[in-house]
């Protein structure tokens, strides 16, 4: 049972690996992004004829943000300080897909 008297600020968290179903066309990128220290994937789509493939990510350090922006087209959400869409810079080249 959840104790409603415990304040949210009292919660200590820890990372837990979770298995999710992702579009097959973007799965290798999601796996790769989750190997970058401090990066977590939040949502993804392999794209359509009208939309580019993307993965939504969050990060814990400036180093992780810099790596994301160096390796990908990186579009930070305006109202979220550590949440962004990453897109493949060159969709014909997938260095993580080996």
Which of 5 and 26 is assigned the larger pLDDT?
A: 26
At residue 90, the pLDDT reads 73
Question: Within a domain: residue 96?
Answer: no
Indicate the pLDDT class of residue 11, thresholds 50, 70 and 90: confident
User: Distance (Å, rounded) from C-alpha 63 to C-alpha 17?
Assistant: 22
Segment 42-60, tens digit of pLDDT? 999 998 889 889 999 999 9
Nearest Cα residue to 96 out of 55, 62, 48, 49: 55
User: Distance (Å, rounded) from C-alpha 26 to C-alpha 47?
Assistant: 8
Kindly report the average pLDDT of the chain as a whole number.
Answer: 84
Question: Within a domain: residue 60?
Answer: yes
Asked if the model's pLDDT at residue 91 lies above 70, the reply is no
- Kindly state the tokens that stand for 43: 């949502």
Total domains, the chain: 1
Query: Which structural domain range is residue 81 located in?
Result: 19-87
User: Distance (Å, rounded) from C-alpha 17 to C-alpha 45?
Assistant: 20
Question: Within a domain: residue 69?
Answer: yes
Output the pTM of the full model. 0.76
Element (H, E) at 87: strand 83-87
């Amino acid at each position: 049972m959840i104790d409603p008297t415990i304040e949210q600020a009292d919660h200590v968290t820890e990372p837990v690996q979770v298995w999710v179903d992702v579009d097959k066309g973007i799965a290798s990128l999601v796996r790769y992004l989750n190997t970058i220290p401090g990066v977590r994937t939040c949502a993804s789509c392999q794209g359509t004829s009208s939309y580019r493939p993307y993965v939504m990510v969050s990060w814990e350090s400036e180093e992780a943000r810099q790596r994301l922006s160096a390796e990908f087209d990186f579009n930070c959400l305006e109202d979220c300080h550590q949440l962004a869409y990453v897109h493949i810079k060159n969709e014909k080249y997938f260095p993580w897909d080996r």
